């Protein structure tokens, strides 16, 4: 890595590759290059790893990249809409199917534990003091459908109560090409990581992590995370 002249290392390993992800995080520390953890292995959101990157003066952004427009970002925005309009969210699910090797890999349920945790917490974090009980929220990859190939289909259902305790529900179907959907997001993450390197800023980049990632060390609404990231880009914030 040192010989290559790389400035930033991207982790796009398969879901569940926990030991391999940590190995490459270690490599980034040893090589002195920035690290962007795009997968649901909790590195940037681990105090131990964050302290190590801070000590070495190396920036890190993570964990688990959001798609440009995917099921999780839509689910988060709708959750905030319910909250802003005074709708009491009572239960919700997000089911995802796809036919690429990522979904095939996730048929091994032991590999998908951190993915479910990351996606669920991304939505739960928007509810703040009114988080749903575990039995009332189900989010995560559901099945591999071979003929879908790289097409990912997300099904979201949200049930709530309006004024006067009137029940309501919302159902949404989202269809996207899965593999390229985070490409533009990770390019912006690379730019932020490079800015930190040029400024001599090491450790967790909290603002970009909150805007670009599903499981950052600090969760904000997407609007606030966007504003914080803009402030970071303009040099008004260190992290």
**C-alpha to C-alpha distances, 211 to 111, 131, 170, nearest whole angstrom:** 25, 21, 25
Give the model's confidence band at 160: pLDDT under 50 very low, under 70 low, under 90 confident, else very high: very high
Q: What is the pLDDT of residue 2?
A: 86
91 has a pLDDT exceeding 90: yes
Q: Encoding tokens for residue 19?
A: 């030991």
What is the residue-wise DSSP string for 111-149? GSHHHHHHHHHHHHGGGGGGPPPGGGEEEEEEEE-GGGT
Rounded to two decimals, the pTM is: 0.94
- DSSP bridge pairs for 92: 137, 158
Mean pLDDT of 63-90: 97
55 has a pLDDT exceeding 90: yes
Mean pLDDT of 139-164: 97
* Residue 154 contacts residue 145 (beta carbons within 8 Å): no
Give the model's confidence band at 129: pLDDT under 50 very low, under 70 low, under 90 confident, else very high: confident
Give the model's confidence band at 172: pLDDT under 50 very low, under 70 low, under 90 confident, else very high: very high
Q: What is the pLDDT of residue 220?
A: 96
Give the model's confidence band at 82: pLDDT under 50 very low, under 70 low, under 90 confident, else very high: very high
**C-alpha to C-alpha distances, 206 to 81, 136, 212, 228, nearest whole angstrom:** 24, 30, 10, 9
Domains and CATH numbers, the chain: 8-66+181-233 (3.40.50.720), 71-177 (3.30.360.10)
Mean pLDDT of 152-163: 98
Q: What is the pLDDT of residue 237?
A: 96
């Amino acid at each position: 890595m040192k010989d290559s002249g790389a400035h930033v290392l991207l982790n796009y390993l398969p879901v569940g590759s926990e030991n391999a992800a940590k190995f490459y995080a270690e490599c980034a520390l040893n090589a002195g290059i920035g690290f962007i953890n795009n997968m649901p292995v909790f590195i940037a959101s681990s105090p131990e790893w964050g302290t190590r990157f801070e000590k070495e003066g190396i920036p890190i952004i993570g964990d688990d990249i959001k798609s440009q427009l995917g099921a999780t970002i839509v689910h988060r925005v709708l959750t905030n809409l319910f909250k802003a309009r005074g709708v009491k969210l009572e239960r919700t699910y997000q089911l995802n199917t796809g036919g690429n090797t990522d979904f095939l890999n996730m048929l091994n349920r032991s590999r998908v534990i951190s993915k479910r945790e990351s996606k669920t917490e991304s939505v739960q974090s928007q509810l703040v003091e009114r988080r749903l009980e575990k039995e009332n929220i189900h989010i995560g990859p559901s099945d591999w459908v071979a003929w879908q190939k790289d097409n990912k289909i997300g099904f979201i259902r949200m049930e709530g109560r309006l004024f006067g305790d009137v029940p309501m529900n919302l159902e949404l179907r989202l269809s996207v090409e899965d593999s390229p959907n985070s490409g533009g997001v990770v390019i912006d993450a690379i730019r932020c990581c490079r800015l930190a390197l040029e400024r001599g800023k090491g450790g967790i980049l909290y603002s970009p992590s909150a805007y670009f990632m599903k499981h950052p060390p600090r969760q904000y609404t997407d609007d606030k995370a966007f504003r914080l990231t803009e402030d970071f880009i303009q040099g008004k914030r260190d992290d």
